Chains A and B, each alone.
Chain A
């Protein structure tokens, strides 16, 4: 196992796990938003705005992990 670059492997695994977490979180938000819009279609505009804000915040977190993976992959 000499000369085996673990940093690249770790970067790949890190990116994959991050994507799983982010996709789960955003999926839950989207499903809640769809359900709420179905119950009260008049509030669909407000719900859509809140959904986009929450999705962008979750994506921000997954991009923190992505930045670390890129730093690892560039080693």
Chain B
């Protein structure tokens, strides 16, 4: 009898561990999603308003733990030069994209890839659960590896980035920056949902400490207010 009970215990523990780690099974990320992030989300600009809704003045770097080298680069920020060089999307890269005053449309591109589109800057992020397919040249959105964190979170790690800006006034992150994000969803009073994205940008070249911000987006019923507008360096 004791052997039977021990076997039951081991089987139970195995089942529990397997439930915590869906990647161990052949079930797709979409099928094993513990929570539904898809839909239209609108940024709630309730914090850092003057850094997000308007382009801050050169030299307004409040609260960013910049290295002296980063400050020198930011002090030389020239939006016209960025436009001329085709770098008008530098402030729309993965290090800052979820902090934009934008709308976000999240869909499943395939069974193992979540797609995030922004209307401001018309950026596309691919959050891949199947890491084998991640590769390619550096880009504004880099390579993002996604994994579910039970019971209800999404963890995304992004690298292979082009150097970009944390804020529109030229606060830099380097191409070696790594962006870690956690996505969570909470109910709103009176119905609806809010998505919380905690973003940690780690860049020893330009940041004295990992840059940690959290942003909120409210779910919208549809895409009626979706308004694609191109990147602007100004």
State whether these chains interact.
no
Task: Give me the interface of B with A, judged by CB distance under 8 Å.
Answer: none
B-binding residues in A (CB < 8 A):
none
